[in-house]
Amino acid sequence: MLDFAITDKTHDESRQGEALVLTPSGDKAARKLYIESYGCAMNFSDSEIVASILSEQGFETTADYNQADVIFINTCSIRENAEQRVRNRLREFTIAKVKNPGLVVGVLGCMAERLKAKFLEEEKLVDVVVGPDAYRDLPNLIGKVDEGQKAVNVLLSREETYADISPVRLNSNGINAFVSIMRGCDNMCSFCVVPFTRGRERSREPLSIVKECTDLFNRGYREVTLLGQNVDSYKWNGREIEGQEQENVKVVNFANLLEMVALVDPELRVRFSTSHPKDITDEVLYTMKKYENICNYIHLPVQSGNSRILDLMNRTYDREWYLNRVDAIRRIIPECGISTDVITGFCTETEEEHQDTLSIMDYVQYDFAYMFMYSERPGTLAAKRFTDDIPEAVKSRRLKEVVARQQQYSYARLQAQLGKVQRVLIEGFSKKSDKDYCGRNDQNAMVVFPVHENYKPGQYVNVLVERTTTATLIGVVV
Does position 72 have pLDDT exceeding 70, yes or no? Answer: yes
Global pTM value: 0.85
Q: Judging by beta carbons within 10 Å of its beta carbon (0-12, 13-18, 19+), is residue 43 exposed, middle or buried? A: middle
Distances from the Cα of 87 to the Cα of 47, 70, 143, 145, angstroms: 19, 17, 24, 20
Q: What is the mean pLDDT of residues 352-381?
A: 96
**Number of helices followed by number of strands (H, E) in the chain:** 14, 22
Which range is least confidently modeled, 61-70, 345-354, 444-453? 61-70
pLDDT of residue 168: 81
- Residue pLDDT, tens place only, 399-435: 999 999 999 999 999 999 999 999 999 999 999 999 9
Q: Judging by beta carbons within 10 Å of its beta carbon (0-12, 13-18, 19+), is residue 346 exposed, middle or buried? A: buried
Q: What is the mean pLDDT of residues 329-334?
A: 98
Residue ranges of domains in the chain, CATH in brackets: 2-153 (3.40.50.12160), 176-415 (3.80.30.20), 421-477 (2.40.50)
Which pLDDT band, with edges at 50, 70 and 90, does 12 fall under?
very low
d(CA 186, CA 200): 6
d(CA 340, CA 422): 23
- Residue pLDDT, tens place only, 221-237: 999 999 999 999 999 98
- List, in order, residues 6 or more apart from 331 with CB less than 8 Å away: none
d(CA 468, CA 361): 22
Does position 20 have pLDDT exceeding 70, yes or no? Answer: no
Does position 264 have pLDDT exceeding 90, yes or no? Answer: yes
Q: Which of 141, 78, 142, 87 is nearest to 110 (CA)?
A: 78
CB-based contact 398:354 (threshold 8 Å)? yes
d(CA 280, CA 254): 9
Q: Which of 157, 174, 284, 285 is nearest to 224 (CA)?
A: 174
Q: What percent of the chain has pLDDT above 90?
A: 69
Q: Select, from the ranges 41-50, 55-64, 300-309, 425-434, the one with the highest average predicted confidence (pLDDT).
A: 300-309
Q: Judging by beta carbons within 10 Å of its beta carbon (0-12, 13-18, 19+), is residue 178 exposed, middle or buried? A: buried
Distances from the Cα of 47 to the Cα of 35, 40, 67, 199, 247, angstroms: 7, 11, 19, 18, 37
Q: Mean of the per-residue pLDDT values for the chain?
A: 88
**DSSP-derived 3-state class of residue 61:** strand
Q: Which of 317, 303, 313, 316 is nearest to 382 (CA)?
A: 313
Whether the bond into 274 is cis, omega within 30 of 0: yes
